[in-house]
Amino acid sequence: MGTSTFKSSTVRASVRGAIGTAVAVPLLFSAMPAMAQSQQEQMQQLREQIQQMQQRFDELQAEQEQMKQTQASPRSDKQLVRKSEDSDGFMVGNTNVKIDGYFKFDAVYDFEDDHGASLGPSDAIGTLDDKGTDRPGDADLGATIKQTRLRLHTTTPTEYGDVGGYIEMDLYGQPYDSSFDGSVGPRVRRAYLTFGNWLIGRDWSTFSDFNYGTTLNFYGPQAQLFERQAQVRYTMDAGENTSVDFSLENPGGGTVIAGDENDPDFRGLEDGTGTENTLPDMVIRLKNSNGPFSVQAAAIGRYLKADVNDVTGTGDSDEDSVVGYGLNLGGSLTLPTKTTLMVSSVYGKGIGKYAYLPAGGADAYVTSDGDLEAIERYGFIGTISQELTSTLTTNLIYGKAYSENPDDFVGSTDGLHDNSSSAHVNLLYTPVDPLTLGIEYNRVEYERQSGTDATAQNVQFSTIYNF
């Protein structure tokens, strides 16, 4: 029997190898899905990086193209003009600019004389003076586009709030010319800036009242409160739908009557017929709007001063002054029947500059004692505005104005204004939103202190394109 040596180390190595293989094979198969998942994540990350690179490349290409366009266009070198983000106007730098207004064509048929594009009581008495009878003139037809209007609005944001600007122009030129034959030229009506609650510049007087209906006649109703002038105005909130305005306004433009106009040797004034401007006119106004009802109340104070000649004939002169004031109350009410009722009323002394009684009325007069006195004036406007259909509206507007008879006037009062009135009846047709066609009958009456009266009337056809 033969014998061999038992090698235990070899057996142990074989056993370890078999065990390792038995353990490694399952582990290898279990690790394969994890390896595949890791590769997928890496691939996804790679794709995302490529997309980001492509997006950045597109942005660089767009910037390069924009730079080429900028270099080719000097106007856009600093991107001065561009579309507004809200499509309202356009941008110049960081200023928003809006342009609007209207084109207006007027054809006017005067029954008695050529009164131009507007008809006021002064025209009636003027015709009487020229012709010598109540209704003396021949009929006249004329046309004009002078009321065409252009408006420019600007808004610039700042760290302290928005600064706004406004300019409004028409084509009546300077000096004012309402005739058909007069030259057409631009005229600045209003121009001001706004900052917070402040308005600085030329605007409607704070004493103005627009509680009356629309007229095609450029003159508008008698007794209206109407003035555009330089001013500084502050507006404060006084509660729900309520505001209060305070303003200091240009006092210039006031006039004084003194003596008989037909007497070249005596006018009663040292220098011309104007008042001296030493203090601003001061105005306060309250406005409230509550649904269909709105109301405003305003008050004005004025200081009128002039060099008055000694009426005794010694040749001496002396300065005299008087305080003027005015009160206004106006409002409107819209009824469920689509009827709007409006009223505006005024009373005061020394407010001829502001109240069309008629336009350009004097503020003060010289008494027989050589003193300066403010002229008392008052009037009212009543309006009925009716929306007939969605495209048709009619307005009936009547205004009446009165002036006192200064019994202590240094001259004759016969030629002074006593009372005047105006009536407007129109029909406005708006077939499409920006276009309005209208026809209006206008009649004005004027009576002097002497009892002499005159009447004028016309028919006006208008085409208005709002933009």
Is there a domain that residue 67 lies in? no
Is there a domain that residue 76 lies in? no
pLDDT score at 79: 53
pLDDT score at 236: 97
pLDDT in tens, 44-55: 777 777 788 778
Is there a domain that residue 137 lies in? yes
DSSP letters of 354-365? TB-SSTT--SEE
Comparing 367 with 42, which gets the higher pLDDT?
367
pLDDT score at 14: 47
DSSP assignment, residue 134? S
Q: Range with the lowest mean pLDDT among 108-112, 190-194, 428-432?
A: 108-112
Give the separation between CA 441 and CA 413, rounded to whole angstroms. 32
How much of the chain exceeds pLDDT 90, in percent? 55
Residues whose CB falls within 8 Å of the CB of residue 17, separated by 6 or more in sequence, listed in order? none
pLDDT score at 80: 61
Paired residues of 309 in beta bridges: 317
Under the banding of pLDDT at 50, 70 and 90, the label for residue 230 is very high
Which amino acid makes up residue 332? S
If you average pLDDT over residues 435-452, what whole number do you get?
Answer: 95
Pair of tokens at residue 414:
């016969």
How much of the chain exceeds pLDDT 70, in percent? 80
User: Nearest CA to 378 among 352, 415, 413, 403?
Assistant: 403
Q: Which domain holds residue 255?
A: 81-466
DSSP letters of 103-115? EEEEEEEESSS--
404-416 CB burial, b ≥16 within 10 A, e <16: bebeebbbebebb
- pLDDT of 1 strictly over 50: no
Under the banding of pLDDT at 50, 70 and 90, the label for residue 415 is confident
Comparing 131 with 27, which gets the higher pLDDT?
131
If you average pLDDT over residues 138-164, what whole number do you get?
Answer: 94
Is there a domain that residue 337 lies in? yes
- pLDDT of 405 strictly over 60: yes
Comparing 188 with 88, which gets the higher pLDDT?
188
Angle at 425 between CA 140 and CA 441, to 5 degrees: 10
Pair of tokens at residue 463:
């085409």
Is there a domain that residue 358 lies in? yes
pLDDT score at 149: 97
Under the banding of pLDDT at 50, 70 and 90, the label for residue 368 is confident
- pLDDT of 69 strictly over 60: no
- pLDDT of 24 strictly over 60: no
Residues whose CB falls within 8 Å of the CB of residue 77, separated by 6 or more in sequence, listed in order? 70
pLDDT score at 327: 98
Asked if 214 and 426 count as a contact pair (C-beta separation under 8 A), the reply is yes
- pLDDT of 383 strictly over 90: yes
DSSP assignment, residue 84? -
How many Cβ atoms from other residues are within 10 Å of residue 91's Cβ?
15
Is there a domain that residue 57 lies in? no
- pLDDT of 239 strictly over 50: yes
- pLDDT of 357 strictly over 80: no
Helix ranges (DSSP H) in 188-255: none
Place of tokens 């499509």: 87
Asked if 154 and 97 count as a contact pair (C-beta separation under 8 A), the reply is yes
Mean of all residue pLDDT scores within the chain: 84
- pLDDT of 70 strictly over 80: no
Q: Is the peptide bond before 175 cis (omega within 30 degrees of 0)?
A: yes
Is there a domain that residue 70 lies in? no
The tally of CA atoms less than 13 A away on the side-chain side of residue 59 is: 6
Work out how many domains the chain is built from and give that number: 1
pLDDT in tens, 293-317: 999 999 999 999 988 875 545 555 6
Element (H or E) spanning 129, and its range?
Answer: helix 121-131
pLDDT score at 265: 40
Beta pairing, strands 256-257 & 242-249? unpaired
Is there a domain that residue 445 lies in? yes
User: Nearest CA to 358 among 302, 417, 300, 412?
Assistant: 417
Under the banding of pLDDT at 50, 70 and 90, the label for residue 2 is very low
Under the banding of pLDDT at 50, 70 and 90, the label for residue 98 is very high
If you average pLDDT over residues 128-141, what whole number do you get?
Answer: 74
Under the banding of pLDDT at 50, 70 and 90, the label for residue 138 is confident
pLDDT in tens, 448-465: 999 989 999 999 999 999
SS3 state of residue 69? helix
Angle at 328 between CA 326 and CA 331, to 5 degrees: 175
pLDDT score at 413: 87
Phi, psi of 13 (to 5 degrees): -65, -40
- pLDDT of 93 strictly over 50: yes
pLDDT score at 445: 94
* CATH number, position 415: 2.40.160.10
- pLDDT of 274 strictly over 50: yes
Helix ranges (DSSP H) in 1-120: 8-72
Under the banding of pLDDT at 50, 70 and 90, the label for residue 260 is low
Query: pTM of this prediction?
Result: 0.79
